[in-house]
Amino acid sequence: MPPGGRMAQRTALVIGGSTGIGLASARRFLQEGARVVIAGRDPTKGQDALDALAPLGSVQFLAADASNPADVDRLFSAALELLGGRLDVLFHVAGISGRRFGDGPLHEATDAGWDAVLAANARSVFLTNRAAVRAMLAQDLDDRGLRGSVLNMGSVLAHSPSPRHFGTIAYAASKGAIRALTRAAAAAYAPHRIRFNLIAPALIDTPMATRATSHPAIRSFLTSKQPLASGPGSPDDCAEAALALCEPAARFITGAELVVDGGWCVSEGQLPPEPSPEDLP
């Protein structure tokens, strides 16, 4: 653990920290001196993450379903104990895409798909953010004059839709809810010295995005839609953004949305033409 790291003497809880962006972020936090607890639903993945992260510093795994209020209460109680009674950073990464549950375009999305995605994404953020702010309100100010920082995971699809390849209405709505929650909380808790920020990635090469990253048409689309990489971003791209917003040096930043998209929001992307009726089988 580097004594002079960017997160030295800080503690962090990463929800969804056993794979993808959460794992990459936990790694960067540890490399910069933080004490970290990662949480996820799958103990096997949690152990794999611990095996990878343990050489870097103080890290523990706790199993929890972040959409379950009782699980979240138990998680925060255990995490605070492991972290010595103080939580400086909550980074909520966990979420689902929802296609397998019935999410899709509005006219095709099912009730079950909507409920599953809103529970796993928006409800879970509400529960963990509420638990975090309750803990942080009870904390003393740190050496930067803060009680804590919360970072949530948004998506460019909340404000920059791409319906041909990414037409999942419940997912977009859930990320829009997270965006609104984060801004409202930033306004409410700034006087209490608690920061709330958001990162909004485009397509990142994670296990959740396997369907998209392995689809030839989508890969071709990304060459112009995410021109900075000519394809999907990496979890490390998001981890660096997360570190920048969570480290103590960001003490004057709250209510911000950092777009990590390789150019998605400023690029049209080249789609093949829609087939004409006479070309359809």
Q: Which residues are catalytic?
A: 171
Q: What stretches of the chain show up as alpha helix (H) in DSSP?
A: 20-31, 43-53, 69-82, 111-118, 124-137, 163-166, 169-189, 210-213, 216-225, 235-246
Placement of tokens 């977009």 in the chain? 172
Contact present, 128 and 175 (Cβ < 8 Å)? no
Distance of CA 88 to the CA centre of its chain: 17
Helices (H) and strands (E) in the chain, counts: 10, 7
* 12 contact partners, CB below 8 Å, separation of at least 6: 26, 29, 34, 35, 36, 37, 87, 88, 89, 90, 91, 246
